[in-house]
Amino acid sequence: MIRPVIPEDAVAICGIYNYYIENTAVTFEEEAVPVPVMENRINTVTAKYPWLVYEEREELLGYAYVHPWHERAAYRFTVEDSIYLGRGQTGRGLGKALLARLLEEVWKLDVHALMSVITIPNEASTALHERFGFKQAGCFAQVGYKFGRRLDVGYWELTRVCP
């Protein structure tokens, strides 16, 4: 079941996200996020944008949300997505289901462009986004540094079709 996030989901979300922080270069955060910080992030995002969770048998298996891409006023119609799945949950279609529903919710808002910022390589995330029509808009070489490695970051974009 896909549903809107609730504050009580922060513990499970931290469990999913902190694994990526501590073990992967998918996120450039380097310190585990405490539950109160995640609760604040949830409250901040959901004040304006959707944050969805995928739940199965009362277990949170993944989540997706959008947040402002940049803070400058001219970017007010552009958001960035984030999608994370729990360990062992990839390849089951959960990311596809979450992104499909997230797009439904996003296009109800006054949003024109959706960005996805992806550490390269990340075949699963790039394939997922391209499946939904995202196009690679650029790549920044070696702009990240984590686990003793310099990392590239790719930008994918999807814009609303205007009549």
The reported pLDDT for the residue numbered 90 is: 85
The whole model's pTM is what? 0.94
Q: What would the DSSP string read from start to end of 119-161?
A: EES-HHHHHHHHHTT-EEEEEEEEEEEETTEEEEEEEEEEEPP
- List the structure tokens of 152: 């590239």
CATH label of the domain that carries residue 79: 3.40.630.30
Per the structure, the count of domains in the chain is 1
Q: What is the pLDDT along the chain (163 residues), one digit of tens a residue?
A: 999 999 999 999 999 999 999 999 999 999 999 999 999 999 999 999 999 999 999 999 999 999 999 989 999 999 999 999 999 898 889 999 999 999 999 999 999 999 999 999 999 999 999 999 999 999 999 999 999 999 999 999 999 876 5
Show the domain range for 86: 2-159
